[in-house]
Every structure is written in C-alpha cells, then in structure tokens.
Amino acid sequence: MRSLSFWMLLGTFAVSLGHRHQDQKTGKCQEQDKQMPEMKKKTVHIKEPEKVEKIICGLMRGGASKLQIITDFDMTLTKFSYNGRRCPTCHNIIDNCKLITEECREKLHKLKEKYYAIEIDPHLTIAEKYPYMVEWYNKSHTLLVSQRLQKDKLAEAVRESDVMLKDGYEVFFEKLHESNIPVFIFSAGIGDILEEVIQQAGVYHSNVKVVSNFMDFDENGIMIGFKGDLIHVYNKNDSALKNTCYFNQLKNNSNIILLGDSLGDLSMADGVSNVEHILKIGFLNDKVEESLEKYMKSYDIVLVRDETLDVANALLKKIL
C-alpha cells in the first residue's frame, strides 16, 4: 500500500528550506520541483498519504524552533540485522558478553526464546502481552544481578559486541545537534549500555536525553540492581507521563517526529501536553506479513526491514 502518488504530489509540495523564506511567515508551503527519493524506496509504506502530507507541511512551517525528536533505541536507531544475522539489543550485548557465566547465558537465551515470541505475536493484544513482558524483564534482571557485573567492564562489552547503529546515524545526530533539536531517547533496554553505544559512536551530544533502565552499583562498582521503576516495551506511556517535567520545559517544541519499532512505542509522546503536529515513523522488522496492516493503521509511515535512517534524515533536511 506504499503510495508513490503522494510523493509525486510532494514534488509540488513545500519541502525545501532554501525556498521557504516569505511563505513560512504566511503559513504556506512553498512549491519546489525536487522530490524526496528516499520516500520512493520499496521499504516505505503509507496508508494515508494526504494526512502525512499535511503533517509534514506543519513540521516544515514550524521549523527548528518547534521541533523535538522522541525515539526508541533498540531496532529503531540500531540495526535489526546485518548480512542476514541478527544484531544485539542492549540486553543482548550483556547476554552475549564474557562477563556472565555460560549457565546464566543459557537461561537468558531460553527466556528470550519464550518471551520474544509473545512480544511480537500479532494475534495478542498489548494488554495480553503486558504481564509477560514484566515477567520476562524481572527474571532477566534478576539473573543479571546475580552475576555481580562490574561497571568498569561495560564499555569493553559494548566494544566487543556486534551492535550497529543504523546507516545514516552520523547525519541524524549531527544535524539535530547543529540545530539544537531536543532528542529524547526512550528505551526499554539497559540505559548504561545504550549510553555507552552512542558515546563510543561519538554522537552522545548535549541535546540528547536518555530515559531507560539504568543499573545500580555499590561503592565498589558492582551491580546490585536497577534504579527506579521498570520500563518495558508496553508500559512506555506510564514512564512518559512521569517525564512531563522534561516535556514541559519544551512547551514551545510542539512538533514531534516519533520513531519506534513496536506498537508500544506509540505512547512515548504521551507526556507532551501541547502537541501541534506529530509524525509517527515505525520500523517493522519482524513478522512483517502478519503485522504490516496493524502497523500501517498505527504509524503514519512504516519502514519495512529498513536498516537506515534515510527517511528521517530526508525529512530533517527539509524541516531544518
């Protein structure tokens, strides 16, 4: 259901910073001749092109001063697979590293086999999945605590892992940093690992805020638990509402680009009270045939097995 006709229309729609000038003040989108080739990729699926057109127009009129980014991390900013091989999530980086015993690793992998199938089952509702996700995370985190992980060894675990940020991540983060656009990374992964990934990639800039499950360490740097309330893939709305103070500081940033890979990610902007325009972009990585229709009903733009940030970067180029 990918709509090329929409992007043909977008060729006469306002999408160029260099041509915005006077018409931005009058609230109009300036015409231009160039299309966005990124939107013609086979990975792009759009159910309501006119709606998306209207949202993008609003984002462009608002420009940098009104924009903020709210994004998931695992499988959204990072790759799902590379050369046919699965890439690790933040949890998987620990699961696969040499800091844990083989016995613990086997238990963690068995938990993943059981609960990941439930997480992505297109026939179960979020309400039905919810208790299983809590069960999975609690069991997994209990196992990790038993390993007495050392804080100063986490950087090495990340360096030795196969984690990969999506192609185009440098442009994505640098463009947002240059324009001082707030980036809220909202992850059900492990915050300490997440921060290390973007730190090692050189993109953990001052405009980036991370909310995730952070490890708690004793005075000797040994892991003793996790801080705060559990964040899992289907309770992000609760955590979003707890971050209303952050969003209230950005009351003028009423335009949002939301990036996620799960239907649970759709609630990440629930803490924003003054949304003017929000564009929801979803990465569909697994169970594509069974889940595509549901994703297209929920996300404005669905990117199927897309390991790049091409679409997001193309939009930023036009908005900023």
Active site residues: 72, 74
Tokens of 213: 């499950």
For residue 311, give the H/E element and its range: helix 310-319
Amino acid at 102: E
Closest by Cα among 316, 260, 310, 263 to 283: 260
Report the chain's terminal Cα–Cα distance, integer Å: 29
CA distances from 88 to 11, 71, 79, 158, 295 (A): 38, 18, 8, 10, 23
Closest by Cα among 168, 176, 186 to 207: 176
Residues in the chain: 320
- Measured CA to CA, the distance from residue 189 to residue 218 in angstroms comes to 21
Amino acid at 195: E
Amino acid at 32: Q
Residue 161, SS3 per DSSP? coil
Q: Which residues pair with 203 in a beta bridge?
A: none
Is 39 within 8 Å of 302 (Cβ atoms)?
Answer: no
- Measured CA to CA, the distance from residue 170 to residue 36 in angstroms comes to 20
Tokens of 317: 């180029």
